[in-house]
């Protein structure tokens, strides 16, 4: 099997149709019946802000005529590459449950008790206020956790504060749930810290929550204890909860240690979203959690817990097989596996940053220390016929079969996100193509000969 065939799931859209939709008149049957049903457009607005639409559009601009393998570095799924295969302990845990027959039944909406208990134990290692199994709700991945929480908080006129740049699924689910989105900035000149003054300026009496992504996707930074404490104090001052996305807690390769937001639960109620998809590199297993860090019982008194339970009762459960395997997966978490994975990512970051030194129009202001992405800033003044980041990425796909994610999809115009969770040789190929592309599109600088000729003409006038 060729490399392209092995990774076809990354470069071929999941659904495509060349058919034109029929009108109601065309859809009538031979008896002239007019059908009284039709597709809803409820998800139309939400679907326009997902990454998939952007990625599919860029894939559509790739061409067989380029005679180069498509390099899909616009979104991240390291699991398809052998160097990122999950740990044998995790695989064995699933196999053991499968063969035992203990994962074949339905589970309760909140998740099976052993898995909830194991999740609480896993998170409690770093928390002063200990969680109980009742504080844990299992979800079909971290994304479903976002969906459940947003549905639980949605009410007329409610708004939620999201980071810019950020993870677009938050925007999509807010739109679907009817939550107004208000954006606060992450500050690149301060290592992507949260603009706390900006938060205070956009919050009002209808603000319900502040979302913190730590370790941060897409910026790759890890927030310090002092900064998170200030975030907690700001949220308390505003009377809002903190929703913290910590799904990358086992994907850190820099010097800053990970600090869970739950440490500050005595200051402000914290809702933690997490899972094993990124740390164990198994996004297809679809298991995550919502953890309520709330020693004062605020979530209970405000009926947030009740709303979460109600929403879980009407949504699909994560696989019972994976739930039943979760205690063994978490208890046998292999530090050597995490270290090996993170070493590869750190090496990939160094490789990309080194090669970017020869490409002055694409700059990485800060090396990431977590996650699987690298944010770069475009110096458009050095390029000809490139209007913005989307134009850059479209032409790059068209000319080089190389797919990067335009920063506008993340709320950061004229930046580009490069996936580093791939094999090193793919990055080497990608950077070679990028260099060729940027050389072709570089602004022509005046040569010494041109300057001398211009001077001679001036003297003759």
Q: Which residue in the block uniquely carries the two structure tokens 């003297």?
A: 459
Q: Which of 274, 273, 266 is nearest to 297 (CA)?
A: 266
Residue 144, domain member (yes or no): yes
Task: Say if residues 437 and 394 touch (Cβ distance below 8 Å).
Answer: no
The reported pLDDT for the residue numbered 188 is 94
The CB-based long-range contact list for 293-299 (8 Å cut-off, 24+ gap) reads 293/127, 293/129, 293/131, 293/135, 293/261, 293/262, 293/265, 293/269, 294/135, 294/265, 294/269, 294/270, 295/129, 295/265, 295/266, 296/266, 296/269, 298/241, 298/269, 299/241, 299/269, 299/271
Tell me if 24 is assigned to some domain: no
Cβ contact 428:186 at 8 Å:
no
The answer on 180 and 64 residing in a single domain is: no
Instruction: Extract the tokens encoding 259.
Output: 């600090």
Q: Which two tokens stand for residue 360?
A: 């002055």
Q: What b/e sequence results for 362-395 when a residue is b if at least 16 CB atoms lie within 10 Å of its CB, and e otherwise?
A: bebeeebbbbbbbbbbbebebbeebeebbebbbb
Domain boundary among 284, 306, 332: 332
Nearest to 103 by CA among 117, 115, 85, 90: 115
* Domain co-membership, 146 together with 243: yes
What pLDDT was estimated at residue 276?
Answer: 98
| 110 shares a domain with 73 | no
Report residue 455 CA to chain centroid gap: 54
Q: Check whether residue 153 and residue 287 sit in a common domain.
A: yes
Paired tokens of 71: 């390099």
389 shares its domain with 431:
yes
Task: Return the CATH number at 58.
Answer: 3.90.1150.10
Q: What is the CATH number of the domain that holds 143?
A: 3.40.640.10
- Asked whether residue 54 is domain-assigned, the answer is yes
Same domain, residue pair 401 and 314: no
Per-residue pLDDT of the chain (461 residues; tens, 9 = 90+): 444 454 445 544 443 445 566 665 555 556 778 899 999 988 888 888 888 889 999 999 999 899 999 999 998 899 999 999 999 999 999 999 999 999 999 999 999 999 999 999 999 999 999 999 999 999 999 999 999 999 999 999 999 999 999 999 999 999 999 999 999 999 999 999 999 999 999 999 999 999 999 999 999 999 999 999 999 999 999 999 999 999 999 999 999 999 999 999 999 999 999 999 999 999 999 999 999 999 999 999 999 999 999 999 999 999 999 999 999 999 999 899 999 999 999 999 999 999 999 999 999 999 999 999 999 999 999 999 999 999 999 999 999 999 999 999 999 999 999 999 999 999 999 999 999 999 999 998 755 445 445 444 444 44
Q: Is 201 in the same domain as 288? A: yes
DSSP 8-class letter at 120: H
* Residue 381 phi, psi (nearest 5): -65, -15
Domain boundary among 277, 308, 332: 332
Transcribe 39-87 into DSSP letters.
---TTHHHHTTSHHHHHHHHHHT--GGG-S--EE-SS--GGGSGGGPPP
The beta-carbon contacts of 125-130 under 8 Å, at least 24 apart in sequence, are 126/259, 126/260, 126/262, 126/263, 127/260, 127/262, 127/263, 127/265, 127/293, 128/263, 128/266, 129/262, 129/265, 129/266, 129/293, 129/295
Residue 321 lies in a domain: yes
Please tell me whether residues 223 and 370 are part of one structural domain. no
* Pairing, β 180-187 against β 159-164: parallel
- Quick one: 282 and 380 in the same domain? no
Is 21 a domain residue? no
Q: Cβ neighbours of residue 121 under 8 Å, at least 6 residues apart?
A: 330, 331
The pTM for the full model equals: 0.90
Does residue 447 sit within a domain? no
CA gap 171, 347 in Å, rounded: 32
Together in a domain, 187 and 310: yes
Q: Same domain, yes or no, for 165 and 215? A: yes
Give domain status of residue 362, yes or no.
Answer: yes
279, 136: one domain: yes
Q: Spell out where 294-343 has E strands.
A: none
Structural domain range at position 432: 41-84+336-438
10 within a domain of the structure (yes/no): no
Domain count, the chain: 2
With tokens 């709700």, the residue in question is: 137
Residue 178: Cβ within 10 Å count: 13
Domain boundary (332, 347, 371) is at 332
């Amino acid at each position: 099997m060729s490399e392209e065939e092995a990774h076809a799931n990354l470069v071929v859209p999941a659904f495509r149709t060349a058919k034109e939709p029929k009108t109601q008149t065309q859809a009538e049957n031979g008896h002239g019946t007019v059908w009284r049903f039709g597709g809803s457009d409820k998800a139309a607005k939400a679907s326009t802000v997902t990454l998939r639409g952007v990625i599919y559009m860029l894939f559509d601009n790739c061409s067989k005529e380029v005679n180069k393998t498509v390099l899909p570095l616009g979104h991240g799924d390291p699991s398809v590459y052998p160097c990122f295969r999950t740990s044998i302990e995790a695989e064995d845990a699933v196999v053991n449950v499968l063969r035992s027959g203990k994962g074949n039944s339905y589970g309760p909406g909140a998740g099976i008790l052993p898995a909830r208990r194991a999740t609480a134990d896993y998170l409690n290692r770093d928390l002063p206020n200990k969680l109980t199994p009742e504080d844990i709700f299992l979800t079909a991945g971290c994304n479903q956790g976002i969906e459940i929480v947003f549905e639980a908080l949605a009410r007329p006129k409610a708004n939620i504060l999201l980071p810019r740049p950020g993870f677009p699924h938050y925007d999509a689910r807010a739109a679907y749930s009817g939550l107004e989105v208000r954006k606060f900035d992450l500050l690149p000149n301060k290592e992507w810290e949260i603009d706390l003054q900006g938060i205070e300026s956009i919050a009002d009496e209808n603000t319900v929550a502040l979302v913190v992504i730590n370790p941060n996707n897409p910026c790759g930074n890890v927030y310090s204890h002092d900064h998170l404490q200030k975030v907690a104090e700001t949220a308390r001052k505003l009377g809002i909860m903190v929703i913290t996305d910590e799904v990358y807690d086992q994907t850190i390769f820099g010097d800053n240690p990970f600090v869970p937001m739950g440490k500050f639960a005595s200051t402000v109620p914290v809702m933690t979203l997490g899972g094993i998809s990124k740390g164990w590199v198994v996004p297809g297993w679809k298991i995550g959690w919502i953890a309520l860090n709330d020693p004062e019982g605020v979530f209970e008194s405000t009926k947030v817990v009740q709303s979460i339970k109600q929403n879980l009762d009407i949504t699909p459960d994560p696989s019972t097989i994976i739930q039943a395997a979760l205690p063994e997966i978490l208890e046998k978490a292999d530090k050597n596996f995490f270290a090996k994975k993170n070493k590869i990512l750190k090496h990939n970051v160094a490789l990309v940053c080194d090669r970017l030194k020869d490409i002055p129009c694409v700059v990485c202001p800060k090396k990431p220390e977590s996650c699987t992405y690298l944010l770069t800033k475009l110096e458009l003044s050095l390029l000809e016929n490139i209007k913005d980041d989307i134009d850059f990425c479209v032409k790059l796909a068209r000319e080089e079969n190389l797919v990067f994610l335009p920063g506008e999809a993340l709320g950061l115009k004229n930046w580009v996100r490069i996936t580093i969770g791939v094999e090193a040789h793919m990055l080497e190929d990608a950077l070679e193509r990028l260099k060729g592309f940027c050389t072709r599109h570089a602004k022509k600088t005046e040569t010494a000969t041109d300057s001398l000729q211009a001077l001679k003409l001036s003297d003759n006038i």
